Amino acid sequence: MNFLRKAKGYFSKGELVLLISSVVLIITAFVIFDRENWLTLAASLIGAASLIFCAKGHPAGQFLMIVFSILYGIISYSFAYYGEMITYLGMTAPMAVLSLVSWLRNPYSGESREVKVNRIGKGELTVMILLTAAVTAAFYFILGAFGTSNLIPSTVSVTTSFAAAYLTFRRSPFYALLYACNDAVLILLWVLAAMEDRAYISVAVCFVMFLANDLYGFVSWRRMEKRQKAG
């Protein structure tokens, strides 16, 4: 009960509705289409919790993202989505560790529950674009060599994931928009997977909810940015 009171005091009514809705839909999809892959359910619920904390700028979101990345990498391996496996285990998880350190080192006004929002300049944006292009080109050939399923969308997922992870580390509100783009790609990937095994519908539903959470995350961070500037 004490935990619930704290959660109610920390999250807004809209955020609680978004979180509860995500949990309900994820569990419902699991019960209807899966009922066997409990790892998928665990990863989806942890991911949903991660995103709502990230939307608040809370470092706990990055810790949960590390756990989600490990579980999602295992799930991706099960369907030969080696691009997703390599991306999350070799890039997203390590970047989440760096982001966790960055967020802890840059609190807003000494408040550990909220990170200080950052703005990146045009020069750094150019560097990020060049790095993203290089990573995309390299992964296209790497994933092709691994015989990755649905190579093109898998490569696009790497592109959006890398850019999103970079912006998360740099504490930019636009990280959430890039992750929303990544969610759209992942919805496509897992819908294609579900055509062969309906159990993967639950994973697709998971990323539909992630899309809603990431879009809210961008709105929330823009509000944080304005509030921090005014304060």
Positive or negative: CA dihedral 26, 29, 32, 34: negative
Q: What is the full per-residue pLDDT of the chain (231 aa) written as tens digits?
A: 554 566 667 899 999 999 999 999 999 988 998 888 898 899 989 999 999 999 999 999 999 999 999 998 998 888 777 877 887 888 889 999 999 999 999 999 877 789 999 999 999 999 999 999 999 999 899 888 888 878 888 899 889 999 999 999 999 999 999 999 999 998 998 898 888 888 888 888 888 999 999 999 999 999 999 999 987
Of 174, 156, 69, which Cα lies nearest the Cα of 119?
174
- What's the rounded Cα separation, in Å, for the pair 69 and 98? 14
Local structure of 211: helix, strand or coil? helix
Q: How many residues does the chain have?
A: 231
Strand partners, 115: 107
Given this model, what pLDDT does residue 2 score? 53
**Confidence at residue 111, expressed as pLDDT on a 0 to 100 scale:** 73
Question: pLDDT at position 172, please?
Answer: 97
What does pTM read for this prediction? 0.89
In order, the DSSP letters of 148-169 are: -SSHHHHHHHHHHHHHHHHHHH
The pLDDT of residue 112 = 72
pLDDT attached to residue 91: 84
Q: pLDDT, tens digit, for every residue of 77-97?
A: 887 778 778 878 888 899 999
The residues facing 87 across adjacent strands are none
Residue among 219, 231, 229 nearest 119 (CA): 229
